[in-house]
Amino acid sequence: MREMRDSGVFYIGYIPASWSVAKYKYFSQSRMGETILTTDLVENGIPVYSATNDNTLFGYVADASVVLKQGDLVVPARGNSIGFMKFVEHSKATCTQTTICSYNIHGIENKYLYYCSYAFKEDWYKYDGSAIPQVTVEALKNNFLSYPPLHEQKTISEYLDCKCSQIDSVVSKQMEQIERLREYKRSLIAETVTKGLYPNVEMKDSGNSFLGSVPAHWEVLKFGHCIDVKSNLVNPNDYSDYPQISPESIEKGTARIRNYQSVDESGVISWNHLFFKGQIIYSKIRPLLDKVIIAPFDGLCSADMYPIETNNDALFIMYLMLSNSFHSQVALVTENRVKMPKINQNELSSIIVALPPIDEQREISGFLSRKCYEIDSDIAQRIIVIEKYEELKKSLIYEVVTGKKEV
């Protein structure tokens, strides 16, 4: 076992005695990217990296003042993707003003530096307390890393390339399965809320291209005839202990609450809607995200949401709102609102739906609840597998780039 010593950096800990510790700035030049707007993009040209948590490109530009080459590094410096460093794979590229780029990398293997960023992400990219999370070039340059001689860095980089590729392959397959399950769930909901549970029932033309044929005994009507939007704005100061829900509280397309706080904890000061347990809560901003739930408690919701009541089966109405036919009609009325898509009450009420008798609504919602529970449980198990592999990857990289695991 090789001799170890204290690195003097708390997040690095002990390293091999032959290794060194230095600041990021000694190995590269770093600067902010250039201002690039969507209007600057062209069909083909120089690839543009932006602040995302994956390698998705912002697009392409014809020319660039910040020119990067293969092996350079791009760090998202704004928003929720801070620290998700990208290794430039293109012979020529550039990056946006929301990123920091590192170039002229010297004295260290480019890929090794990339893996150090991955290993120390939580400590390197602690951002300031401003409203929009951000890190600075100076902060990045003053981060510490541990490193061995160059030949050992190359060995480590090749080892991690191999191991991480294996882990990424497992994760990718799980994500593909999750997307298939989500697509199956969407198609199941779409089919069931427009065709019903009985394949041999007599059908009729709905007169709506999005709905197509529906059971003959179902009623085709405007959505506003089967729901009632319950606008009920109140002063949040009078409800400080109530749960508060915003569009960000709801997962897109799953009818599940992701997280929420009390009114006091969330710090809301603008008037919110008072809603009640059992009401449907629907986000009217960015409606194509399909953020809708059945309220599990009384509380307040953002004025960007609609509390909805119905004399029909609320679960059926919720599934109806998650269907492809409903989504497509929402897309049609909001298609020209690019900056901040929003659907108003009149537009929401004008959407055409097919409504079965109340007993059949309950039968359908019960069936969908059972099937969606099975699908969601399968997805949840696969997410646990992904999280375990991602934690394994993070731990492996950290152990190797600090010399605690010898390769």
pLDDT digits (tens, 9 = 90+) for 308-339: 999 999 999 999 999 999 999 999 988 876 66
> Can you say how many angstroms the Cα of residue 278 is from the centroid of all Cα atoms in its chain?
27
Residues across the chain: 407
For tokens 């980089």, the residue is 157
CB 27 within 8 Å of CB 106: yes
> Which residue in 22, 244, 242, 16 sits closest to 145, CA to CA?
22
Phi, psi of 282 (to 5 degrees): -130, 130
Q: Which residues of 58-75 are buried (b: 16+ CB within 10 A; e: fewer)?
A: bbbbeebebebeebbbbb
* Secondary structure percentages of the chain, helix, strand, coil, to 5: 40, 20, 40
Give pLDDT tens digits for 174-194: 999 999 999 999 999 999 999
Query: Above 60 in pLDDT, residue 129?
Result: no
- Is residue 111 predicted with pLDDT exceeding 90? yes
Distance between CA 120 and CA 99 in Å, rounded? 18
Task: Name 38's Cβ contacts closer than 8 Å, sequence gap at least 6.
Answer: 59
pLDDT at 210: 94
Exposed/middle/buried for 138, CB within 10 Å: 0-12, 13-18, 19+?
Answer: exposed
What does the pLDDT read at residue 341? 86
Tokens of 336: 């020209």
Work out the burial of residue 279: count CB atoms within 10 Å of its CB; fewer than 13 is exposed, 13-18 middle, 19 or more buried. Answer: buried
Give the confidence band of 203 by pLDDT, cuts at 50, 70, 90.
Answer: very high
Cβ–Cβ under 8 Å, residues 12 and 144: yes
Question: How far apart are the C-alpha atoms of 269 and 33, rounded to whole Å?
Answer: 36
Bridge partner residues of 187 (DSSP): none
**Closest of 199, 222, 220, 204 to residue 354, by C-alpha:** 220
Rg (the chain; Cα; Å): 26
Residue 140 has pLDDT above 90, yes or no: yes
Q: What is the pLDDT of residue 134?
A: 85
Helix axes 358-401, 110-119, angle to 10 degrees: 120
Contacts (Cβ under 8 Å, ≥6 apart) of 132 = 78, 79
Q: What is the pLDDT of residue 84?
A: 94
Over residues 83-98, the mean pLDDT reads 95
C-alpha distance from residue 270 to each of 291, 304, 319 (Å): 21, 11, 30
pLDDT of residue 190: 94
| H-assigned helices in 149-230 | 150-195
**Assigned token pair, 191:** 């089919």
What digits encode the pLDDT tens for the residues 276-302? Answer: 999 999 999 999 999 999 999 999 999
Question: 127: buried, middle or exposed (CB in 10 Å: 19+, 13-18, 0-12)?
Answer: middle
Q: What is the pTM of this model?
A: 0.82
Average pLDDT of span 94-120: 96
Mind listing the pLDDT tens digit for each residue in 222-276? 999 999 999 999 999 999 999 999 999 999 888 889 889 999 999 999 999 999 9
pLDDT over threshold 80, residue 1:
no
Question: Residues 142-162: what's their mean pLDDT?
Answer: 97
Over range 299-308, report the average pLDDT: 95
Tokens of 137: 């070039």
Task: Tell me what the pLDDT averaged over the chain comes to.
Answer: 94
Q: Which two tokens stand for residue 138?
A: 């100076």
CB 23 within 8 A of CB 7: no
Task: State pLDDT tens for residues 23-42.
Answer: 999 999 999 999 999 999 99
Average pLDDT over residues 115-119: 97
Are the beta carbons of 14 and 28 closer than 8 angstroms?
no
Type of residue numbered 211 = L
- C-beta atoms surrounding 31 within 10 Å: 12
309 exposure class (CB count in 10 Å sphere: 0-12, 13-18, 19+): middle
131: pLDDT confidence band, cut at 50, 70 and 90?
Answer: low
Domains and CATH numbers, the chain: 23-147 (3.90.220.20), 183-357 (3.90.220.20)
* Alpha-carbon span 74 to 103, nearest angstrom: 9
pLDDT score of 48: 96
